[in-house]
Structure 1
Amino acid sequence: MLISLLVSSQLLFAKPDTQAVKTIDVAMLHPRVREWAYPVKDVKVPANSVCLLWPSTPGKNIAYKIMMATDAGFTQNVIVGDEQRWAVYPIHQNVKEGKWYWKYAYKTDNPIDKWQWSETNSFIVERSQNSISSPSPKQVLENLQVLENLKGQQHPRLWSLNKNAETFYGNNKNNPEAKAFVAAMRKQLGKTLPEEKPTRPRDTTGMNALQKKQMIEFMYHGFGNKVANPIKDLVLAYYLTKERAFMDEAIKQGVHVAKMDPEGYATRDDFNNGNIVEGLATLYDMGFSFLKDSEKQLLKNAIAVRGQMIYKGLPNRFELQMCDNHVWQHILRNFSIAALAVANDVPEANEWLTYVYEVWNARFPVLASTDGGWHEGNGYFRVHYKTLIYLPMLFGDLSGRNYYEEEWMNNLAYYILYSYPIKSTSVSQGDMHENLKDIVRNHGLFADALSTKINNPYLTWYAHEIRKLYPDFFRANDDFLLFRLLNYKGDKVMSASKVPSDLPKSRDFRDIGLVAMHSDLVNTARNTTVFLTSNPYGVAGHAHAAQNAITINYKGKKVYGGTGFYSNFSDAHNLLDYRSSRGHCTILADSLSQRLGEDGYGWIPRFITGNRIQYALGDASNAYGNLTTDFWLDRFTQIGIKADKESGYGDAGVKKFRRHVLQLDSNYVVVYDELESVKPIKWTSQMHSPFQLTHVSAAGQKSKTFDLQADFVKSNVTVFSSSTASINIHDQYNFPAKNWKGKTDDEGNIIEFSEQWHAGITSQPTIKQRFLTVIQIQEKQLQPIKQAVLKNNMQQVQIGGWTISANLETGKEPFLQVVSSDQKSLFNYGSSEVKSGKNLVPRTISGSSVLVEKGKIQEVVDERPNVTNLDTGR
């Protein structure tokens, strides 16, 4: 028998206090290119290692400088920056607390031009204790020169081997992994020198011009690694053994590669060129004392030409981009290593090193803030792993600052734990998410490496589990081998670790718009995971139009979530299915996707973690509208498709999309959607799965049910609608998924692009719409659902010891309540008064979300993301 509501209808429909519900009314929170200065408007900076940012001035050879002071007249405590070519300026000193004023100026290289000053901006430094500062680039270069003069030795500089080479050799003398690596490198001695030819030939017959161009680039992808990695490995083998044969072989191969045409197909690609620059620079630096003068000059010339090819496209552009992925993923690391290796030896390299050092200090971490997440999802986060391990070490050695102690780095440990559990898939959002069906090798190696630098006992546990469960990850040469060797001090001894069973079951990462809920973080076989994504960065880079989308994993496998395949960054399947909202468990508005671009953003206003109940609220009210971003419009033009309603894009007039998501124990998920538009439109609630979905007949026109069955799980989904609804279940993409590039997984196997299942529950045209979705996930028998409609269109559902009540009457205020059968766990949203059993629960703000468990009361209202408080220039 269904139980009655615990609040009166009078209280139930009280209008929520406006303080509980907040909105954001700006076009975007993180523009693709910086559009305003930072920090401004007396914003309180989080620490006193201040960094100044400002928009660029168009044109070539633009110069900038800054001025800051503690008075608006710029006469007290004045700091003046040197002339520079880039639009970031970290203040490499601990400035005093209080209010500061600053401005920037620009001019061209025309001698008659004068400095043009910006308006005066201001910010407030709140604290000065225990802040972390780094030396200026000028100090870094001077220290480098002083150290070399004292030692009487210019090289090696990389990885502190100028002072630690003997320690490195001694530590690894009996290291089994080092011995295995050296044995493998002996087989490289005397090998034929590499030819400039495709690393993965493909037939281009029948391809259009764009596909052929992309395919040629694809065929040479990895060539830089192929020819540069052996050089670095041979040099490393020398430092592990002191056997001259390894260095001689490295020099032979390095000289050969240095003579390759930098404009040729094989090496002109940015990835290939970056890898070659790093390989040649490593040989120059670490093999310096073995090189002939002619060989040094050849390497310096090649590095100078190739390095300048990279550098010419960076200042006054790269530092202003939200994220130039290719550079942040690989090229910044390649280029930084090269810049340090040849600084003071190649005239241009001092400016290179100054630039990368300043950008690193100003922008790291580029796609996050402090909470540890990465906004593009883990499929492409892992492409950044190598840079995120080595550059903190490189710049740390250079500056003396421990970048592993940054707040983001410490929270990264929790992001890894919650977003990518052991023996499990991850959240299905962002390019290449479908490749993460289990812990993949480079993720395991990254977590292991990170655990040696971050003092987090839970990450230590995570790394220990990876070494135990995936021992083959550590039995071959890989991207993190050098890191492990540099940090090896005998057999790996795990520091004190803690099993994360004592951590909260859920965690929010609001900077990047992710909430991760778990029933059992430790035991994958018992874990049900629910992810809610609503991303303040919008659909930038490799992110997807997945605002207010959910992913549900069970026993480490995806049951519901994003669908499709990463065939190419912007082919038809990518733009019309995979990256589109059509490919995610979210809402279509009049059959239209959320827009692509930074203006298609969402955010997480509320979050509560409890014992039996986990809760989050996502807001995607700003995610819909016409696609207007030039970057994405150009991608549509390139493939001959218009970004119009026929393609699933356009403005349906959405005003509101707030999605409440609750996980109840390990078997039930409740989703409550509040939707509103400026005109009557159809609303479609979507669910996707790799497993077959089957429609189940149900009484009434306002609820639809479908089942899912697989060999490891049984599930059903019932969607209750505020208006008459229809259901459509199919296994076809909007545009077929074809692996036309022959993409492979991490083990080199060709990926099968299979059909998947899609369910859409569509309302009749309405201005306001609500959906209540109840999802059941069981290992064995599904539990029966009892349902009733009370007065005022109040929907009530009883299932598995839970009673769920939701207001579906759009003319009344929203309401959602979940109560356990023992009355000890209660969630309530939207009423003025809450009762737990016979006890009245105090509520401070009407319209808040309240969780009551074991006598503990948690109440939350909307909280805007940090960026709205810090980066307020708009």
Structure 2
Amino acid sequence: MKLKQILQALSQADFCFVLRSLPIQRRIQNTFRGIVIFLLLMSLFNIHELCAQELDRQPLADEVNYSPRDEEVLASNPPAFIWLPLEGVDSYILQYSQSPGFESAKTTTIRDLTMTVHIPTETINSGKWYWRYGYSNNSGEKFGRTRLFEIPENAVAFPFIPVDEVIAQIPKERPRLHFTPELVDDIRNDKEGRFTAITEATVTEAEAILEMDEPLWAEPEPWAKSENPRYAYVNEWRTMRPYTQRMVTSALAYIYTGEERFAMEAKRRLLHFMEWDVEGPSTSVGPDELGMDIIENCSPVFDWVYPVLTKEEKEKCTEVLTARLHQISYKVHRARPMETRPFASHQGRMIGFVVEGSIALAHEAPEVSDWLNYTLKLLWSMYPAWGYTEGGWSEGIHYWRGYMDKIFRVVAQLDKFGIPLKDKPFFSNTGYYGFYAAFPNRPTQSFGDLHELPVNENVGRMLYKLGSLYSNPYFLWHAGATGAGHPTGRDAFLYDQPKVEAKVPSDIPQSRVFNDIGLVVMHSNMAEPENNVSVLFQSNPFGALSHNFACQNAFVIEGYGEPLAMSTGSRQLYGCPHHSEWMWHTKAHNSILVDNEGQVIRNSASKGKIINYEDNGDFVYTAGDATQAYGDRLERFHRHMLYIRPDYVVIVDDLKTSGEKSTFQWLLHGPTEIQVDKENLVMVNRSGNVSLATRFLAPQQVDFIQHSGFTPQLEDSTKWRNQFHLTASTTNPEKSMRFVTVMKVDQFSGEPVKMPDFPTTPRHQLEIKNIDNLASVDESVLQAEMIDAEGGLALRLGNNLILWKESGASQVKAAGVTSGKNMEFKKDFFQAD
């Protein structure tokens, strides 16, 4: 390495990397020469100053960023300070101050921090603050850069609760999880039948379980002994889950009735799991589903059937549950570590299990204080990895519901102990994500894995729980609209009866933006889900990770309960060929390909962001930037979307390549075969008695290709209907391209469109069918036109004028109107005509 290169390298953030790159570390034969060079560099540079620069290294792809971010305005008070660990540094110093120079009288300094997270136990003054972190060595204390943040006066008070105070609030008597001895007495002596609607079904099911006389579930052999280890593992946890749930049901029946025959059945199963090898196939280190199932369900069952356990059985359960919880806390969470590398789905799920297990063992296992101290700091700081203060969930609706169902057991349980975890802005806001994105009567759960499933009562039950916990009348209305009522099973007595009545969502905003996950949800008529049109738009800053896909700047349109423009595919096994080679890719979603290539898959850098959002009542305007998702192929991909309530959508796609000229492919997917009028550049999707008409105003020439089915095929094609995939491709390579499309949702009478058969053949091209009745397309779509404009684009849609300002222009002029907005909508502008 040349001296100039060494000097350049020394100016970079990671000095340890520099040392590894020096000749002394490159197996040079002349060791003395290497030492001389190193000492020379030591004399030329202040090595400790270089190490101070290392404090602010860039996060790796799977690491969190520093928090608070520079110039961030916080939603809670005090902040959770998060920084990145340094190789060879065992303890850190944190300083926060209202003085940019960190004057001692205005500065709080905390030393000897072994975790790269610190949350003050008291709120701090509102206003501007500065923070930095560092460490000390033989030459003194070294700090990194200073970051500014602001605490507004309305920030939510959310100081950390020390672990000894938390443990002091956990009762010593049992049961502790979900129930109290007083509540159990009330349930068992319920002569008025107040609880019958909740308890009766559980007791009936427990009776049936006793009649089954089910053999104990055998501990599986090591996965490596199987011919197909992965499928053996998947089949094992899928079939084992109902077995463990029957253990929970039996324990609940004992809680409800006091009849020991139910407790003995739960005990029989519980003690069997206590004989399994914690480090064997049921480990939580991975593959982890069996281990998670055991710790999630055995912890409460141990607590609930505690009275029927002998002294030796209690000791055995305490020993094994301690080992499993210690395994998660050290070999899973701290081994990553979760505070700086939280982007792991299953590991995030285990956070709640550690808290519940710690409550179950709070006064029996001395390790509880250590587990809780670490885990509560995760909950107060980085949790969740997939969302932020606005409450969104990057992995999608299905995984939001599943994970919130589990973590809110902890939130609600701690709330009963007086520990206000529910005040964290994410928790208090996340119900709105479910409310808007998983709105009643939606036929899909786009975006994210298992997007093909309809919104149902499972989501409604989650909204009921949140409506109860936060006294939110709209959440309770959602629950009723999806057919969900008070929860049953293990959560039935965890959530209190709501203190408010359900309320129709007619007086709240009919759209919402979740900038944290890059999602905009727009509705036309939330008061009447059966008469509602929904438009969803995603440009996700988390990238194409975990249970989300490479579908930045993609949209979904649904109307009157029917899917129209949809994300496609059906995930039946994570990572299977259909999942990984179809659903993960842009080609499965309503976005754009460049030279028939989509966005980068499975990469945190394959990200987007929402760059504009405004709801003006008559219309919603939003825009996303998906440029980065294409690697280095694009200089710009901004998608501008105008939703004109109740049934129009206008999209302007602004693309520019970073290199050679390219062709661009505009994608549209539907549940039935899409008909096309090539001459007028019109497409029609139909589902049920609802249609979506789409027309290109620009470019003037595209080639249409339609495919049916999937490659690779679904694992079980009998579960889902076929789907159709239309591509509108530009014909000539260009450096830049603008697509301008107008879309309209309509209902029609007569026979509903026939749904397709199951996809029995792989993806194949179809002959384009002409629209059978062009007169059925709304006249406003057929007559929409571009009009002359300066500084952007203008179009007439019915009597409405729409202006779009191009990138770099200060304003757009058309039809006598000048606008500096990115997109302007003038309702009934041409009414005088």
Report TM bin, short chain.
0.7 to 0.9
Inter-CA distance 444–515: structure 2 relative to 1 (3 Å threshold)? same
Inter-CA distance 91–854: structure 2 relative to 1 (3 Å threshold)? farther
Are the counterparts in 1 of residues 793 and 812 from structure 2 also a CA contact under 8 Å? no
* Aligned with 2:509 (options 498, 504, 520): 504
Amino acid at match of 1:252: R
CA distance in 1, matches of 2:314, 2:92: 35
CA distance in 1, matches of 2:249, 2:107: 49
Report what 1:187 is aligned to. 208
Summarize deviations over 1:739-765 as a string: whole Å, max 9, x none. 1xx69xxxxxx7347453333333410
Report what 1:814 is aligned to. 792
Inter-CA distance 847–386: structure 2 relative to 1 (3 Å threshold)? closer
Inter-CA distance 517–826: structure 2 relative to 1 (3 Å threshold)? farther
Task: Kindly indicate whether residue 79 of structure 2 is the aligned counterpart of residue 50 of structure 1.
Answer: yes
Are the counterparts in 1 of residues 93 and 134 from structure 2 also a CA contact under 8 Å? yes
CA distance in 1, matches of 2:126, 2:683: 60
1:82-93 equivalences in 2 (<5 Å): 86-93=115-122
Report what 1:694 is aligned to. 675
Summarize deviations over 1:636-690 as a string: whole Å, max 9, x none. xxxxxxxxxxxxxxx5x21111112223344432211111112211111111112
More deviation in 513-522 or 69-78? 69-78
Amino acid at match of 1:91: P
Task: Kindly indicate whether residue 542 of structure 2 is the aligned counterpart of residue 537 of structure 1.
Answer: yes
Task: Kindly indicate whether residue 218 of structure 2 is the aligned counterpart of residue 218 of structure 1.
Answer: no
Inter-CA distance 841–770: structure 2 relative to 1 (3 Å threshold)? closer
Inter-CA distance 425–84: structure 2 relative to 1 (3 Å threshold)? farther
More deviation in 552-561 or 284-293? 284-293
SS class of match (1:412) = helix
Note the C-alpha offset of 1:848: 3.2
Inter-CA distance 318–346: structure 2 relative to 1 (3 Å threshold)? same
More deviation in 224-233 or 597-606? 224-233
Report what 1:11 is aligned to. none
* Aligned with 1:137 (options 148, 155, 162): 162
Summarize deviations over 1:242-269 as a string: whole Å, max 9, x none. 2333333332322122112234435664
1:792-871 equivalences in 2 (<5 Å): 799=780, 803-805=784-786, 813-818=791-796, 820-821=798-799, 826-830=801-805, 843=819, 846-852=820-826
CA distance in 2, matches of 1:776, 1:70: 54
1:631-710 equivalences in 2 (<5 Å): 651=632, 653-678=633-658, 679-698=660-679, 704-710=681-687
Q: Which runs of 5+ in 2 are unaligned?
A: 1-56, 750-770
SS class of match (1:350) = helix
* Aligned with 1:593 (options 583, 594, 598): 598
SS class of match (1:187) = helix
Are the counterparts in 1 of residues 92 and 133 from structure 2 also a CA contact under 8 Å? yes
Are the counterparts in 1 of residues 707 and 726 from structure 2 also a CA contact under 8 Å? yes
Report what 2:317 is aligned to. 299
SS class of match (1:766) = coil
Inter-CA distance 325–285: structure 2 relative to 1 (3 Å threshold)? same
Q: CA RMSD in A?
A: 3.8
SS class of match (2:85) = coil
CA distance in 1, matches of 2:110, 2:185: 40
CA distance in 1, matches of 2:613, 2:503: 25
Inter-CA distance 170–432: structure 2 relative to 1 (3 Å threshold)? same
Inter-CA distance 414–486: structure 2 relative to 1 (3 Å threshold)? closer
SS class of match (1:433) = coil
Q: Which runs of 5+ in 1 are unaligned?
A: 1-27, 206-211, 626-650, 744-749, 788-796, 856-874
CA distance in 1, matches of 2:621, 2:128: 39
SS class of match (2:628) = coil
CA distance in 2, matches of 1:115, 1:256: 56
Note the C-alpha offset of 1:299: 0.6
SS class of match (2:339) = helix
Are the counterparts in 2 of residues 64 and 87 from structure 1 also a CA contact under 8 Å? yes
Task: Kindly indicate whether residue 729 of structure 2 is the aligned counterpart of residue 729 of structure 1.
Answer: no
Report what 2:410 is aligned to. 391
* Aligned with 1:161 (options 180, 202, 216): 180
Summarize deviations over 1:579-599 as a string: whole Å, max 9, x none. 111111111011111112121
Are the counterparts in 1 of residues 202 and 252 from structure 2 also a CA contact under 8 Å? no
Task: Kindly indicate whether residue 410 of structure 2 is the aligned counterpart of residue 429 of structure 1.
Answer: no
CA distance in 2, matches of 1:340, 1:118: 39
Report what 1:345 is aligned to. 364
Amino acid at match of 1:140: E
CA distance in 2, matches of 1:294, 1:238: 21
The aligned length equals: 736
* Aligned with 1:308 (options 321, 326, 337): 326
1:6-45 equivalences in 2 (<5 Å): 32-34=61-63, 36-39=65-68, 41=70, 43-45=72-74
Task: Kindly indicate whether residue 258 of structure 2 is the aligned counterpart of residue 242 of structure 1.
Answer: yes
Inter-CA distance 775–163: structure 2 relative to 1 (3 Å threshold)? same
Report what 1:485 is aligned to. 493
Q: TM-score scaled to structure 2, two decimals?
A: 0.79
Inter-CA distance 665–802: structure 2 relative to 1 (3 Å threshold)? farther
- Specify which structure has the bigger relative contact order, considering alpha-carbon pairs within 8 angstroms and separated by 6 or more residues: 1
Inter-CA distance 133–660: structure 2 relative to 1 (3 Å threshold)? closer
Are the counterparts in 2 of residues 66 and 102 from structure 1 also a CA contact under 8 Å? yes
Are the counterparts in 2 of residues 694 and 729 from structure 1 also a CA contact under 8 Å? no
* Aligned with 2:741 (options 763, 766, 773): 773
* Aligned with 2:461 (options 445, 452, 463): 445
Note the C-alpha offset of 1:118: 4.2
Are the counterparts in 1 of residues 59 and 84 from structure 2 also a CA contact under 8 Å? no
CA distance in 1, matches of 2:812, 2:776: 24
SS class of match (2:653) = strand
Note the C-alpha offset of 1:717: 2.5
Are the counterparts in 2 of residues 49 and 94 from structure 1 also a CA contact under 8 Å? yes
Task: Kindly indicate whether residue 678 of structure 2 is the aligned counterpart of residue 718 of structure 1.
Answer: no
1:36-115 equivalences in 2 (<5 Å): 36-39=65-68, 41=70, 43-58=72-87, 66-69=94-97, 72=101, 75-76=104-105, 79=108, 86-104=115-133
Note the C-alpha offset of 1:140: 2.4
SS class of match (1:363) = coil
CA distance in 1, matches of 2:114, 2:690: 58
Note the C-alpha offset of 1:273: 1.0
CA distance in 2, matches of 1:677, 1:180: 61
SS class of match (2:630) = coil
CA distance in 2, matches of 1:85, 1:232: 38
Amino acid at match of 2:261: A
SS class of match (1:379) = helix
| Identity fraction in percent | 21
Note the C-alpha offset of 1:160: 5.9
Are the counterparts in 2 of residues 565 and 753 from structure 1 also a CA contact under 8 Å? no
Are the counterparts in 2 of residues 784 and 799 from structure 1 also a CA contact under 8 Å? no
Summarize deviations over 1:710-765 as a string: whole Å, max 9, x none. 442334332243474322122143x32231xx69xxxxxx7347453333333410
Amino acid at match of 2:164: Q
CA distance in 1, matches of 2:140, 2:620: 56
Note the C-alpha offset of 1:359: 0.4
CA distance in 2, matches of 1:776, 1:364: 40
Q: TM-score scaled to structure 1, two decimals?
A: 0.76
SS class of match (1:360) = helix
Inter-CA distance 29–243: structure 2 relative to 1 (3 Å threshold)? farther
Note the C-alpha offset of 1:370: 2.6
Are the counterparts in 1 of residues 250 and 263 from structure 2 also a CA contact under 8 Å? yes
Summarize deviations over 1:185-209 as a string: whole Å, max 9, x none. 133347344222679x9x998xxxx
CA distance in 2, matches of 1:273, 1:370: 31
Amino acid at match of 2:151: E
CA distance in 1, matches of 2:241, 2:364: 25
Note the C-alpha offset of 1:815: 1.7
